[in-house]
A and B are shown apart, each in its own frame.
Chain A
Amino acid sequence: MKSGKNALGEEQLGAIERRLVEIISDFGYLKGRSAKIAEVTAYIYIREEVTQQLLRQLTGYSLGTVSAALKELEQLGVVSKHPSADARGYLYKLAGTPSQVLSRSMTDVQEYLSQTSSFLEEIEAKLSKQSLSKKQGYGSLRRFLDEMNVLIPAYQHILQTFQAAPSGAGKEKEGAASDQ
């Protein structure tokens, strides 16, 4: 049924999608995800809704690999699992729009800051032992903590500022988060 023109278009579109997947995978890979998971994630960003079978066709990975990747992405909150209409398998849907998913990195930064902040409080408590202040290396740790004590509130202030900002700045916020 397909005209020659359409077949050519399909082939081209397929090639463009693969190229796009490579570019998106790179982002994910840099974020520390394995190359396979990054690739599966990229296809889900683009397709928004996939089955295991479709992912196998697209990536060429084994069922085990695809299923393990989906399980991990489900745990990370990137996808949600739904029974398919024909009840023969599952549909995996992107949790939120691509834009929302990408901007979630901003929340990651917040989480990072709050974890770092409470960890450093513990360190601060250990270091406050009187006997330590004259010991070799104390000054180095002290300097690090003092600098972090300035930086962490500064970041928290900034994140609050940007979250409170109206849509214009909000868009920029998403932008910055996206490249993570």
Chain B
Amino acid sequence: MTSSSAIGFDPEIRQIEREIVGFFAEKTPEYTGRHPIVATVMAYFYIRRNLTQQDLRKLTGFSAGAISNAVRQLVDINMITREMVPGTHTHRYKMETLPFRSPKYFLQTEKTLEKRHKQLKELKDILDDHNDEMRNLEGYQRVYAVVTLLLELISSVPRFMALIEEELDRFIEKGKR
């Protein structure tokens, strides 16, 4: 069992790999809110880059269902890609670049933000439309202020992410030269 779970790695290297995965499995949920199982699977991709669901089961010991769920989530957010192994019914999953390469790793996807923006805009419209009935009520100002603040913050996110991305590219390019 122990030898097969090393899949392809020397036991000493495998031990270091476990440490790395363990670190990210603990930190990623803490800082990005991702599920620990997803975080663990993600961390194996940082190192292995190219895995099947079966590889992941062997590496992590998680159930087939848990692995399948985790890779689906990672495919959905474009962190990994899926392709069929020719002549089989097996898929291989690939991570082309480390997710840290994009600030999106730390932030939510634009789709989620768009949804939030729409929801908050609806609330703001109701508050504006019923200003007459509500403006003197206790709490109105505060609710209004929070809705407005969140709307402003969310609107600035895509621009901010583009800026970070540009800055990252520039810095990394400079380092290469």
Residues of A whose CB lies within 8 Å of any CB of B are 5-6, 8-10, 12-13, 16-17, 19-20, 23-24, 26-27, 29-33, 45-48, 98-99, 102, 108-109, 111-112, 115-116, 119, 123, 126-127, 132, 135-138, 140-141, 144, 147-148, 150-151, 153-155, 157-158, 161, 169, 171-176, 178-180
Contacts and interface: CB of A to CB of B under 8 A. Distances in A.
12 contacts: A12-B133, A20-B143, A32-B34, A148-B98, A154-B167, A155-B168, A157-B171, A158-B168, A158-B171, A172-B156, A173-B160, A175-B153
Contacts of B100: 148, 151, 155
Given A20-B147, A32-B33, A135-B12, A12 B130 contact: yes
Contact of B20 (A31, A98, A123): A123
Given A137-B14, A155-B168, A179-B157, A23 B8 contact: no
A153 B120 CA distance: 36
Given A32-B34, A173-B160, A176-B157, A99 B149 contact: yes
Nearest to B165: A158
Interface in B136-152: 136-137, 139-140, 142-143, 145-147, 149-150, 152
Nearest to B20: A123
Interface residues on B, range: 35 or more
B contact patch SS: helix
Given A98-B149, A136-B13, A179-B154, A115 B171 contact: no
B116 A132 contact: no
Contacts of A8: 133
B55 to A, nearest CB: 13
B123 A16 contact: yes
Given A45-B146, A137-B9, A178-B154, A126 B33 contact: no
A115 to B, nearest CB: 7
A180 B106 contact: yes
Contacts of B27: 112, 115-116
Nearest to A165: B163
Nearest to B129: A12
B101 interface: yes
A132 B12 contact: yes
B127 interface: yes
Given A155-B168, A175-B160, A30 B108 contact: yes
A174 B10 contact: no
B31 A9 contact: no
